[in-house]
Amino acid sequence: MNEKIPVPNFKYSSKDPASKNFGVIEIDDAVKFWIDNLDHFYQAFGYNNELQKWGVFPNQFIWEEYLSNAAKSHLCFQLHTIEYLMKYSAPFLKMYGDQCDDWIAALAEARSLNGEECRTCIATRNEKYCLK
């Protein structure tokens, strides 16, 4: 049986758009996963065509919704990062796949205690990690 790993503190960093990989997901300030399709990444956080039509840039959306108010949105950022990695990163699933349900449950419990949720969670309450 695998040892339980505490929920990592995922961080997102955009990189040079001229490179093959446009962004990275870091754990403990070390690059762990490359983002090769930013559209998929931004969609996991709720960025959509409507926001684009309003002139909201994806990085601006991520910053304002998840990163500028860490007390409010840190848990949602972690949840959506796990969701993205589960869907698009085979290396993530190989390394951490058996931990994901535990992480999601722990984050959902912590979020229910602070009572805050992002717009993406409000719009997608049918997801198992969102507050009901």
φ, ψ (nearest 5 deg) of residue 26: -110, 150
Using one digit for the tens of pLDDT, what is the confidence trace for 49-74?
888 899 988 888 888 888 776 655 77
Taking the C-alpha atoms of residue 7 and residue 55, their distance in angstroms, rounded to an integer, is 34
2 located within any domain: no
Please state the domain count of the chain. 1
Q: What b-and-e string marks burial along 69-100, b requiring 16 or more CB atoms within 10 Å of the CB?
A: eeeebbbbbbbbbbbbbeebbeebeeebeebb
1 located within any domain: no
Cross-strand partners of 10 = 27
Give me the domain span that covers residue 45. 10-123
Q: How confident is the model at residue 132 (pLDDT cuts 50, 70, 90)?
A: very low
DSSP string, 43-75: HHTT--HHHHHTT--HHHHHIIIIISSHHHHHH
59 located within any domain: yes
Cross-strand partners of 25 = 12, 33
4 located within any domain: no
39 located within any domain: yes
Taking the C-alpha atoms of residue 93 and residue 109, their distance in angstroms, rounded to an integer, is 22
Q: How confident is the model at residue 85 (pLDDT cuts 50, 70, 90)?
A: very high
129 located within any domain: no
Q: How confident is the model at residue 131 (pLDDT cuts 50, 70, 90)?
A: very low
3 located within any domain: no
